[in-house]
Amino acid sequence: MRLKIIVTALVVTGLAGLLLLALQFRDVPPQNAPARVKAQYGQRLLVGFSLTAMVWLGAAWGAMLIARQARVEFIEGEREALKNLIEGSLKDHQNRANRSE
């Protein structure tokens, strides 16, 4: 359950990061701006993109862990259901054999 909450938080954070990144693209310095201003703009975009990408990679990794966990739980449930089916069938055959005697 904690993993699902963490992944959900990462997705929400990733969406907020994308929105903030889009807002950063609006503040493009003019062509005749000093190189230092352009470098700061590029650095802000690079940091914003890197953080957003890391958040989305974390969300994807968490989603893979959730899928793996769900698959393991499904296989265990399937195995238990098959075991119950076999045991029930054996009991039915034993009951039929006892009734016919």
- Report yes or no: 49 and 22 within 8 Å, Cβ to Cβ: no
Question: For the segment 42-60, what is each residue's pLDDT rounded down to a tens digit?
Answer: 999 999 999 999 999 999 9
The pTM (predicted TM-score) of the whole model is 0.74
Question: For the segment 71-86, what is each residue's pLDDT rounded down to a tens digit?
Answer: 999 999 999 999 999 9
Closest to 38 (Cα-Cα) out of 46, 28, 50, 48: 28
